Amino acid sequence: MRLIIRRITDKAFTCLTGTSIVLLTLVLVIILGPMVWRGAKAVIFKDTIEFRKMQLDLYNRGSSEDLNTEIAEAKNVRAVVYEIINKFKHGIDTEELIDKSKQIYRQFGKELRYKGITSEEYQKIRSLARDLRDRLQAAFESNDKKIIKENIDYVLQYRRNEYFVDTTAAEFFTLAEDFYKTIENIDLNKRQEYAASLQQIEEVIFQLLGPKPDEPLPALTMERYGATRWDLAVKLLDKLLWSQQWIQKEAGQPLVKIRFSRAEEFAGTKLESLFGYINNNFDKMLKPEFRFYWQYFIDDSTPGHYFGGVGPEILGTLLLTLLAMLFVFPLGVISAAYLVECASDNIAVRIIRMCINTLAGVPSIVFGLFGLAFFILFFIPLFGGPSKPCVLAASLTLAVLTLPVMIRASEEAIRSVPQAYKEASLGLGASRFSTLVKVTLPAALPGILTGLILSLSRVAGETAPILFTGAVALGPLPKSLFDPTRTLSYGSYDIAVGDRLAMLVPHQQYGMVVTLVLLILCLNALAIILRAKVFRKLKGG
C-alpha cells in the first residue's frame, strides 16, 4: 500500500515538473513567436520595384540596366493610372478649374497689352474676357446643370469672336467644352465628396507608386519611393479600393465601421475604370520579388528608420555593451574580492553590502539621471572632456547600473572556491594577493563569467540609462568615445514614440527588437562557450 502511494506521488511529481516545463516553453513561444515572426519580415519579405530602386539609389546594389528596363515597363502600366486621374480631375476639381480660368484671363490681359490696340478697345476686350471668366466660374461653382448649361452656352457663343480666335483666350472654350462633357455623367451634388475621395486616392497612389514621373524629386528620402514592400502595397491597395467610414446606423448606437467600394462610389464616372485597372495590373506596376535582405544587419537607415537597416544600431549596442563590461568586470571582481577576502564582518561592511543589494533594485531611469548628473555634468568635464552625451558616459552609466549584479555574482563565486585551494597556495608561501590572483580568481572564473553574462544581458537591452547619457535616434557612427551613438534599444523606443512612423514601419520596429534579442543571444552564447571552456580547463579536460 505504502509503495503504491510512493509511486503515485513520484509520478505526480514528474508530471508536475513536466507540465511546468511545457508551460514555460509555451509561454516563451507565445511571447517570442509572434515577435520573431514579425521581426523576420524585416529581413525576409517580398519586395517591389520601388525597393530595388531605393537599394540602387541609396546603397548602389543591383544592376541598373535590368532595373531601368523594369522601370520602363512599370512606367507604361502606371501612365494609364495618371491619365485616368487627370481626365477625371478636369471635371471635378472646381478650384483647379477656377484657378485655370483666372490664369487664362491674366495671360490674355498680358497678351492684349502688346497687341498695339487703343486703350478703348483694350478695355472692351478686357471686360468681355472678364465676363467670360466670371461666367465660367459661375458654371464651375454651380451644382445646377441648368445654370451650368446657361453659362457655358453663353461662353461658347464667343467662340468665333474675332478678338479671341488664335489667342490665349481660346482656351476658355476648350475648358468649357471639356467641363460640359465631364459633368454630363456626374451627380454634381456629390462633387465635394468626389474631390475629397479623389484626394485620398491620389495620396494612396503616391504612397504606392511614389512621386509622379514628371514631378521633381521630393526632398525627403522617404517620399521618393512608393511602397517598397509587397505587404505594405497590398494594404495600400485595399485602402485604394475600399473606403472606410464610421457610420451610426441607429440613433443611440455606437458607430460602426463600414467599407465602401470606391468603384461603386465613382460608378458612371471616368474614374470608375481606374480601380479595375489597378487591381488587374497591380503586379505589373510593382513587380514583386522574393527577397532575403540580409543587409538589414549592416545597412544604415534613412531618417526615422523608414528605409534601410540597423547596422549602426548593432555596432552602437555592441560598443556600449562591451565598454560597459570592460568597466564593470575589473571593478566588480575587485569589489567582490575585497568583500570576501579582506573585509571583516563589521558594521561598515554590512552597510556596504546592504547598499549593493539595494542598488540592484533601483530603477534604471534613476541610473540614467545619475549618469547625466555625475558623468556628463561633473566627471568627464573634470578631466577636460566635453560635457555632452557620449559613448563613454553611457557605458559608464551602464557599468554602474550592472555593478551590483556583477559584485554579487563574483562574491558568490569567490566564496565558493574551496578553502583547500587557498590553504594550499598559502601553505606554499604565497601572499594573500598572489593567492587571490593566481588561485582563487581562476577557480572562481566560471562563476564570475556567469555574473558577466547576467550583466551583459541586462546592459545590452537597457534604454533608460542611455536615454540622457549617450543615445541618439539619428546620427553618424561615433568616431570617438566622446560622440553619442545609436543603439537598438533606444532605436526601437524611438520608433515606438515616433507616432506616425511606428504605424508605417512595423517591420522595422519588430526587426530591431528581434535583432536585439538575437544579439543578446549571440553575446550570451559566446560568454557561455567561454565559460564552458574555462570550466573544462578547471576540471582537467
| SS3 state at 257 | strand
- The enclosing H or E element of 530 equals helix 506-538
DSSP, res 297: G
The binding track of 325-364 with respect to other proteins, each residue x by CB under 8 A or -, is -------------------xx-------------------
> Which CA distances in Å does 69 have to 60, 73, 289, 370?
17, 6, 15, 58
Binding part of the chain for other proteins, among 14-22, 281-289, 425-433, 505-513 by CB under 8 A, reads 425-433
Binding part of the chain for other proteins, among 22-30, 192-200, 216-224, 423-431 by CB under 8 A, reads 423-431
Please identify which residue in 110, 257, 500, 539 interacts with other proteins, judged by CB under 8 A.
539
Binding part of the chain for other proteins, among 60-68, 192-200, 380-388, 426-434 by CB under 8 A, reads 426-434
Who's near 87: CB < 8 A, 6+ residues apart? Answer: 270
As measured in angstroms, the least distance from the Cβ of 416 to other proteins is 14
As measured in angstroms, the least distance from the Cβ of 433 to other proteins is 11
Question: Where in 457-516 is the site for other proteins (CB under 8 A)?
Answer: none
Determine if 418 is a binding residue for other proteins (CB under 8 A).
yes
Please identify which residue in 439, 460, 488, 495 interacts with other proteins, judged by CB under 8 A.
439
Please identify which residue in 191, 305, 422, 531 interacts with other proteins, judged by CB under 8 A.
422
Query: How many residues sit in the footprint of other proteins (CB under 8 A)?
Result: 26
Question: At residue 301, what are phi and psi to the nearest 5 degrees?
Answer: -115, 160
Please identify which residue in 6, 61, 124, 438 interacts with other proteins, judged by CB under 8 A.
438
298, with CB counted inside 10 A (0-12, 13-18, 19+), is middle
Closest by CA position to 459, among listed 371, 337, 386 = 371
As measured in angstroms, the least distance from the Cβ of 348 to other proteins is 16
Please identify which residue in 421, 482, 517, 530 interacts with other proteins, judged by CB under 8 A.
421
Query: Is 189 or 344 the residue whose CB approaches other proteins more closely?
Result: 344
Query: Is 205 or 439 the residue whose CB approaches other proteins more closely?
Result: 439
- Do 230 and 215 form a contact (C-beta atoms < 8 A)? no
| SS3 state at 14 | helix
Calculate the CA dihedral of residues 83, 88, 92, 95 and round it to 10 degrees.
Answer: 10
As measured in angstroms, the least distance from the Cβ of 453 to other proteins is 21
Task: Give how far the C-alpha of residue 252 lies from the chain's centroid of Cα atoms, to the nearest Å.
Answer: 39
**How wide is the angle at C-alpha 532 spanned by C-alphas 531 and 533, nearest 5°?**
90
| SS3 state at 33 | helix
As measured in angstroms, the least distance from the Cβ of 418 to other proteins is 7
As measured in angstroms, the least distance from the Cβ of 381 to other proteins is 44
Determine if 437 is a binding residue for other proteins (CB under 8 A).
no
- The enclosing H or E element of 45 equals strand 44-47
Query: Is 388 or 415 the residue whose CB approaches other proteins more closely?
Result: 415
Closest by CA position to 340, among listed 449, 450, 440 = 440
As measured in angstroms, the least distance from the Cβ of 419 to other proteins is 7
Give dist(CA 75, CA 73) in Å, integer.
5
Determine if 424 is a binding residue for other proteins (CB under 8 A).
yes
Question: Where in 508-537 is the site for other proteins (CB under 8 A)?
Answer: 537
Determine if 416 is a binding residue for other proteins (CB under 8 A).
no
Determine if 442 is a binding residue for other proteins (CB under 8 A).
yes
Binding part of the chain for other proteins, among 26-34, 153-161, 322-330, 413-421 by CB under 8 A, reads 413-421
Say what angle helices 311-337 and 506-538 make with each other, to 10 degrees. Answer: 40
As measured in angstroms, the least distance from the Cβ of 430 to other proteins is 5
**How wide is the angle at C-alpha 457 spanned by C-alphas 386 and 17, nearest 5°?**
165
Binding part of the chain for other proteins, among 159-167, 247-255, 436-444, 484-492 by CB under 8 A, reads 436-444
Who's near 104: CB < 8 A, 6+ residues apart? Answer: 133, 168, 169, 171, 172, 175
- 3-state secondary structure string across 157-209: CCCCCCCCCCCCCHHHHHHHHHHHHHHCCCCHHHHHHHHHHHHHHHHHHHHHH
Give me the residue label for grid cell 544579439: 519
Binding part of the chain for other proteins, among 90-98, 222-230, 403-411, 412-420 by CB under 8 A, reads 412-420
Determine if 284 is a binding residue for other proteins (CB under 8 A).
no
Who's near 405: CB < 8 A, 6+ residues apart? Answer: 360, 451, 454, 455, 458
Please identify which residue in 27, 428, 528, 532 interacts with other proteins, judged by CB under 8 A.
428
Please identify which residue in 94, 434, 450, 524 interacts with other proteins, judged by CB under 8 A.
434
| SS3 state at 61 | coil
Query: Is 448 or 514 the residue whose CB approaches other proteins more closely?
Result: 448
Question: Where in 291-320 is the site for other proteins (CB under 8 A)?
Answer: none
Binding part of the chain for other proteins, among 179-187, 189-197, 378-386, 418-426 by CB under 8 A, reads 418-426
Binding part of the chain for other proteins, among 54-62, 306-314, 387-395, 424-432 by CB under 8 A, reads 424-432
Rule CB under 8 A: which residues touch other proteins?
344-345, 418-431, 434, 438-439, 442-443, 537-541
